[in-house]
């Protein structure tokens, strides 16, 4: 599976607004580039990124070829309770990656 880098605070106070960062290794081939043989290199990108907090969707992004290689997102959410934050990426050629992070809320 593609390598990922997730940044979620391990602990938070209830109601605190926390920043979440997620990075995944991916070429994000645009489909607009031409190889040395003159053929267009087919598009191969991540098209969707979803983040779920204890099953509830908190962030969703639709990606286009204009997103850089190794897509990175940083966003905020309210720490509502202890549990699992799941990150899911899906894209061209059946690409799918999923990572989970734990958070303790007191």
By CB under 8 A, tell whether 63 contacts other proteins. Answer: yes
For other proteins, which is the closer residue by CB, 59 or 95? 59
Among 55, 64, 93, 94, binds other proteins (CB under 8 A): 64
Minimum CB distance to other proteins, residue 56 (Å): 8
As given in the structure block, the two tokens for residue 75 are: 């966003």
Closest CA to 45 of 21, 23, 69: 69
Handedness of CA 105, 6, 17, 11 (dihedral sign): positive
Among 10, 13, 55, 62, binds other proteins (CB under 8 A): 62
Per-residue contact string for residues 9-48; x = within reach of other proteins by CB under 8 A: --------x------------x-xxxxx----x-------
Closest CA to 6 of 86, 79, 69, 106: 86
By CB under 8 A, tell whether 72 contacts other proteins. Answer: yes
Query: Which residues are CB-neighbours of 85 under 8 A, at least 6 positions away?
Result: 8, 20, 51, 52, 53, 54, 100, 101, 102, 103
Site residues (vs other proteins, CB under 8 A): 17, 30, 32-36, 41, 53, 56-69, 71-78, 80
């Amino acid at each position: 599976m593609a390598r990922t880098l997730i940044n979620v605070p391990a602990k938070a106070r209830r109601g605190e607004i926390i920043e979440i960062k997620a990075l995944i290794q991916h070429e994000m081939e645009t489909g607009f580039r031409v190889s040395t043989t003159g053929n267009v290199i087919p598009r191969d990108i991540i098209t969707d990124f979803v983040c779920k907090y204890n099953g509830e969707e908190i962030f969703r992004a639709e990606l286009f070829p204009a997103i850089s290689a190794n897509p990175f997102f940083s966003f905020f959410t309210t720490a509502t309770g202890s549990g699992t934050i799941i990150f899911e990426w899906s894209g061209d050629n059946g690409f799918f990656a999923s990572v989970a992070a734990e958070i303790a809320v007191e």
